[in-house]
Amino acid sequence: MHTPGQILLQYWGFSEFRLQQEEIVNAVTSGKDVLALLPTGGGKSVCYQVPGLMFEGVCIVVSPLIALMKDQVEALKKKNITAEALFSGLPYREIDRILDNCVFNKVKFLYVAPERLKSNLFLERFQKMTVSLIAIDEAHCISEWGYDFRPSYLNIHEIRVLKPKVPCIALSATATPKVQEDIQVKLKLKNPSIFRSGFSRKNLNFSCYQTENKQKDILRDINRVEGQGIIYVRSRKAAKELALFFQKQKTSAVFYHAGMTHADRQFAMEKWLKNEARIMIATNAFGMGIDKDNVRFVFHYDVPESLEAYYQEAGRAGRDGERSVCVLYYHESDINTAREKLEKAFPPIEFIKKVYQNLANYYRLAVGSAYLESFDFDIDDFRKTYSSDVMLTYNSLKTLEDQAFINLNESFHVPSKVTIIVSYEDLYEFQVKNPKLDIYIKTLLRLYGGDIYTHYLTISESKMARNLQTSLSDITYHLNLLVKNNIIAYEPANGKPKLTFLSPRYDASTLPLDRKKLETLKGRREAKLNEMIEYIHTEKMCRMLFITEYFGELTGKSCGLCDNCRKQKINDKELYEKLLHMHLVNGFDLNEFISQNSTYPKDKIIHIFKQLTNK
């Protein structure tokens, strides 16, 4: 068996691990459960991918974001490592094929959306698999104390019970002490090895700036810093408007949010990644899994809902270790707006039930049906169909998701896929009897080979059209004819968001919404917002110290870089000069000086006075 170092070199091209990666890998390979707390960009995936390659069998990776799963799978495939992803919206045949391949040890890494863990099909095949490791990415999602709680993460315990001897690694970049404790309990980690790399980022310069004109001040600061950066906003409208503002100022900017088509999002991201656009203006839909280490600034245009969310987004700056700037711009009215937004995030119970009933009507679902079924979902069309308020509707859907009735997936691109579902003999017989369709079958076989009999293969209708010198519509028409004749299974490309029902459809009047849980959740979110506001308003405490203490790391060391530390340096110089002048005056009384200068800490005055007298 190869050593961890050999695998790292073979597949990643690195001769040594970063941070605590090697210690984490060694703990996992020794069969221990592990909780790893690594910063954003700290190389969490290597901590389970290296052991996954060392062990026999498949490594199950639970991840909350489809885009992140797809990126990880593609990255592994480029390294010639077999990997697959299961998420809501995939056709049954493809799910069946992927799970079968896992049972027969043809897959090394299976990425799974948490809501898929409760399906009978998955649980049945999971028991037959040789599972090497269970990895939980974004593990803070399992905790109701976390800022991004996802009820479907609670399904993880079901697979742990089925494979009690398989080690488990939980990974997070933003887990407070309470969340860390919750992760260990909910995942039933057995005497886990806990690794904390430290939340402090010595190269990041944090500031909060109160302003009357955000656009003007951000433009000024962008002209003062070099390199590329991200500006986070809290609405899709603001993302577009701010990008247009910078473009008018001859500053190259693109925008990104979940409501854009896959093609538009991909175009914006690639322009920024290739340094063709200097600024990415984005909602929180952007950033997970983005591999760019030279981001020189991350600015926040609005008040984030929690310190965890803020630090995760700001932490995308300076992953290369170079000095980078993180600034939050705010007006006092933004504080009130954030509080109002939180209040609106919890609609009346009756309105939530009405939205649930509208979903049932929209998809024409009978009571008791639709368990784990996924549907294309266009929130604008849904809202307009029932003439409902956009924010109330959206927040009702999020509440239904928080209470595990539905799952809303972000918009993602699923390319067209085809598999042949008849035997070689039956296909040949069909070709002889249907010469007009024969050329389309032969083209599929020529372009995609014999694997199309056993795998759901990604195809390009455009490539087929060019090959046959025909139109795109002609290709799709004849592929659908082959479907009608039960020759192929064909899933056309789709880039729409997906809505999945996580329980059989209820009668809306008896929908078991947990009111007490909603009240508790609201209280916790209020507490998190209050922490964020306190961070913004703090004037004396080092900002990095504020953040690290929030995450339970008591270093006591100021960063020396943030706006508060810079002010303190100026204040210390003023105090030194004042004391230098006063202590030379006859009859100088230190106690009187302390009482007359209460803006300075008493211990600071005494410390500087001792320095002066020693000289």
Verify that 115 and 167 share a domain, yes or no: yes
Question: Confidence class of residue 587 from pLDDT cuts 50, 70 and 90?
Answer: low
CATH of the domain at 326: 3.40.50.300
Residue ending a domain, among 196, 217, 246, is 196
% of the chain residues with pLDDT over 90: 67
Quote the CA–CA distance of 516 and 510 in Å, as a whole number: 16
pLDDT of residue 600: 65
Asked whether residue 444 falls in the same domain as residue 460, the answer is yes
pLDDT of residue 172: 92
Long-range interactions of 599-604: CB distance < 8 A, separation 24+: 600/571, 600/575, 604/572, 604/575
Is residue 227 in some structural domain? yes
pLDDT, position 571: 66
Apex 356 CA angle, 234 and 150, nearest 5: 50
**Based on the domain organization, do 138 and 12 belong to the same domain?**
yes
Asked if residues 411 and 260 have their Cβ atoms less than 8 Å apart, the reply is yes
**Locate tokens 């008493």: which residue?**
602
Structural domain includes residue 535: no
Strand partners, 134: 60, 168
Token code pair at residue 212: 């009357």
Q: For 198-212, what is the mean pLDDT?
A: 92
Averaged pLDDT, 42-65: 93
Average pLDDT, the chain: 90
Asked if residue 578 belongs to a domain, the reply is: yes
Both 393 and 501 in one domain: the answer is yes
- Going by C-alpha positions, the residue among 325, 301, 330, 302 that lies closest to residue 314 is 325
**pLDDT score at 13:** 92
Residues 301-323: tens digit of each pLDDT: 999 999 999 999 999 999 888 99
d(CA 133, CA 33): 10
Ramachandran category for residue 217: left, alpha or beta (phi over 0 → left; psi -120 to 50 → alpha): alpha
CA distance 440 to 423: 17
Which residues fall within 8 angstroms of residue 67, CB to CB, at 6 or more apart? 288, 289, 410, 412
CA 457, 458, 461, 467 torsion: positive or negative?
Answer: negative
**What is the mean pLDDT of the segment spanning 74-86?**
94
pTM: 0.79
Spatial distance between the Cα atoms of 33 and 193, rounded to a whole number of angstroms: 6
| Burial bucket for residue 295 (CB in 10 Å: 0-12, 13-18, 19+) | buried
Q: Any alpha helices (H) in 538-597, and if so which ranges?
A: 543-550, 563-582, 590-596
pLDDT at 391: 87
Lowest mean pLDDT among 7-11, 283-287, 343-347, 512-516: 283-287
Higher pLDDT: 290 or 144? It is 144
- Residue 192 is encoded by which pair of tokens? 């886990």
Cβ burial of 339 (10 Å; 0-12, 13-18, 19+) is: middle
Q: Looking at residue 497, what is its pLDDT? A: 81
Alpha-carbon span 231 to 224, nearest angstrom? 15
Same domain? 160 vs 80: yes
Kindly state the average pLDDT of the residues 580-608: 70
Total tally of structural domains belonging to the chain: 5
Residue 335 included in any domain: no
35 and 161 belong to one structural domain: yes
d(CA 316, CA 292): 8
By CB atoms closer than 10 A (0-12, 13-18, 19+), residue 200 is middle
Burial 137-146 (b: 16+ CB within 10 A, else e): bbbbbbbbbb
Q: Please list, in sequence order, all residues whose beta carbon lies within 8 angstroms of the beta carbon of residue 300, skipping any fewer than 6 positions away.
A: 231, 232, 310, 313, 314, 326, 327, 328, 329
> How confident is the model over 238-260, as pLDDT tens digits?
999 999 999 999 999 999 988 78
Domain end position, chosen among 196, 231, 247: 196
pLDDT of residue 615: 59
Are residue 27 and residue 131 in the same domain, yes or no?
yes
Evaluate whether residue 557 is within a structural domain.
no
Confidence bin at 87 (pLDDT 50/70/90): confident
Examine the pLDDT at 515 and tell me if it is beyond 70. yes
Query: Of 151, 166, 196, which one is at a domain's C-terminal end?
Result: 196
- Do residue 266 and residue 131 come from a single domain? no
pLDDT at residue 488 is higher than 70: yes
CATH number at residue 365: 1.10.10.10
Per-residue confidence (pLDDT) for residue 555, from 0 to 100: 75
Q: Residue 567's pLDDT is what? A: 83
The whole-number pLDDT of residue 3 equals 92
C-alpha closest to that of 461 among 497, 415, 410: 415
Buried (b) or exposed (e) across 241-269, using 16+ Cβ within 10 A?
Answer: ebbebbeeeeeebbbbbbbbebeebeebb
Whether 62 shows a pLDDT value over 70: the answer reads: yes
Amino acid 529: pLDDT: 96
Q: Is the pLDDT of residue 557 over 90?
A: no
Residues 40 and 70 in one domain: yes
Residue 579 has pLDDT above 90, yes or no: no
Specify the residue for token string 């009933």.
357
What is the average pLDDT across 70-77?
90
Q: Which residue has the higher pLDDT, 110 or 417?
A: 110
With a cut of 90, say whether residue 590 has pLDDT above it.
Answer: no
Q: Range of 452's domain?
A: 417-491
* Judgement on whether residues 34 and 181 belong to the same structural domain of the protein: yes
pLDDT at 413 over 70: no
**Measured CA angle at 331 (ends 329, 334), to 5 deg:** 100
Section 506-510 average pLDDT? 96
> Which pLDDT score, from 0 to 100, does residue 603 have?
67
Q: Is the pLDDT of residue 390 over 90?
A: no
Q: Which residues pair with 490 in a beta bridge?
A: 418
**Is residue 94 situated within a structural domain?**
yes
The pLDDT assigned to 66 comes to: 82
If asked whether residues 365 and 505 sit together in one domain, one would say: yes
Q: Give yes or no: residues 25 and 84 share one domain.
A: yes
**Which residue in this structure is represented by tokens 């920024």?**
272
Q: Is 163 exposed, middle or buried (0-12, 13-18, 19+ CB in 10 A)?
A: middle
The DSSP bridge partners found for residue 207 are: 327
| Mean pLDDT confidence for 89-95 | 83
pLDDT digits (tens, 9 = 90+) for 109-125: 999 999 889 889 999 99
CA atoms within 13 A on the CB side of 530: 6
Instruction: Let me know if residue 380 belongs to a domain.
Output: yes
Tokens of 365: 């679902």
Distance CA 56, CA 133 (A): 10
Q: Is residue 217 part of a domain?
A: yes
Q: What is the DSSP letter of 83?
A: E
- How much is the pLDDT for 54? 95
pLDDT band at 410 (very low <50, low <70, confident <90, very high): low
